[in-house]
Amino acid sequence: MAKPAQPRRDNIVLYAVGGALTFVLIGFVVAWFYFKQSAHLEPQVAYVSFGPLVVRASHYSIRTSVAVQTANSQESWVQDNKQQVELALQEALSGIDQDRARQPDGVAYLQTVLRDRVNAQLHTKNVQDVLLTDFIIQSN
């Protein structure tokens, strides 16, 4: 005689619970990695603002505000030497080529000159860049 067939168990509930638990576990792992990675990220650069700086040379006058970009670890150096950096910026502005500053690439020219002259005058490489936040030049 043949045995009667046993009723099949419906495992859909087990599959649904297992899938939900797997999904939640993957979510926790992804969130843990995300927050662990973002905890190690810190800004690589810092900015220190200067200005408005006003320089009156014999043939032109300049009014500008700048942000000095430096490494995050060097921000305290810039803050501690803020007065010397500001004086170096003003001296650099007093010696620029005003015709070159008025050309289409004049802002890039000024930023490069300011960065190079500040680093040279203060005997450092801590100033990575000088960014003009506003700029007006006027002929006298």
Residue-wise pLDDT for 29-44, tens only, equals 999 888 887 666 666 8
Identity of the residue numbered 53: L
Q: Are 53 and 131 in contact (CB under 8 A)?
A: no
45-139 sits in which CATH class?
Answer: alpha beta
Residue of 42, 40, 92 whose CA lies nearest to 66: 92
pTM of the model: 0.67
Q: Which residue has the tokens 């007065």?
A: 83
Which stretches within the chain are classed as H helix?
12-40, 75-80, 82-94, 98-101, 106-122
Residue-wise pLDDT for 64-117, tens only, equals 999 999 998 888 888 899 999 999 999 999 988 888 988 899 899 999 999 999
d(CA 36, CA 130) in angstroms, rounded, equals: 33
